[in-house]
Amino acid sequence: MEIGAKEKNEKLYKPYSNGIIEKEPSVSLRQEMQALRSSASSEFELSDILCFSRRGVESIVDDEVTKCFSAQELESWNLLTRSNYNFRHISVRLTVLWGLGLMLRYGVMLPLRVASAATGIILLIVLTTLVGFLPEGRFRSRLSEAVHLMCYRIFVRALTAIITYHNQENKPKNGGICVANHTTPIDVIILANDGCYSLVGQVHGGLMGILQRAMVKASSHIWFERSEAKDRHLVAKRLGDHVADKNKLPILIFPEGTCINNTSVMMFKKGSFEVGCTVYPVAIKYDPRFGDAFWNSSKFGIVNYLLRMMSSWAIVCSVWYLPPMNREEGESAVEFANRVKSAIASQGGLVDLVWDGGLKRAKVKDDFKKEQQKLYSRVLVGDQDAGDRSRETTTM
Give the pLDDT of residue 41.
58
Give the pLDDT of residue 391.
44
**Type of residue found at 64:** E
Give the pLDDT of residue 33.
64
Element (H, E) at 113: helix 110-131
Give the pLDDT of residue 120.
92
Q: Which residues pair with 166 in a beta bridge?
A: 320
Exposure string over 59-80, b if 16+ CB within 10 A, otherwise e: beeeebbeebbebbbbeebbbb
In angstroms, rounded to a whole number, what is the distance separating the alpha carbons of residues 11 and 4? 10
User: Which residues, in sequence order, are CB contacts of 234 under 8 Å at separation 6+?
Assistant: 224, 228
Give the pLDDT of residue 31.
64
In angstroms, rounded to a whole number, what is the distance separating the alpha carbons of residues 59 and 74? 23
Q: Is the dihedral of CA 119, 121, 122, 128 positive or negative?
A: positive
For the chain, strand residue ranges (E) read 161-166, 177-180, 198-202, 222-224, 251-253, 264-265, 279-286, 315-321, 351-352
DSSP 195-222: S--EEEEE---HHHHHHHHHHHHHS--E
The neighbour count for residue 229, using CB atoms within 10 Å, is 15
Give the pLDDT of residue 190.
93
Q: Are 241 and 248 in contact (CB under 8 A)?
A: no
In angstroms, rounded to a whole number, what is the distance separating the alpha carbons of residues 239 and 279? 13
Give the pLDDT of residue 18.
45
**Type of residue found at 388:** D
Residues of the chain where predicted confidence (pLDDT) is lower than 70: 1-47, 59-64, 68-79, 81-90, 226-231, 360-362, 364-365, 379-396
Q: Is the dihedral of CA 58, 64, 69, 72 positive or negative?
A: positive
Report the C-alpha dihedral over residues 330, 333, 335, 338, rounded to 10 degrees. Answer: 150
Overall pTM surpassing 0.85 (yes/no): no
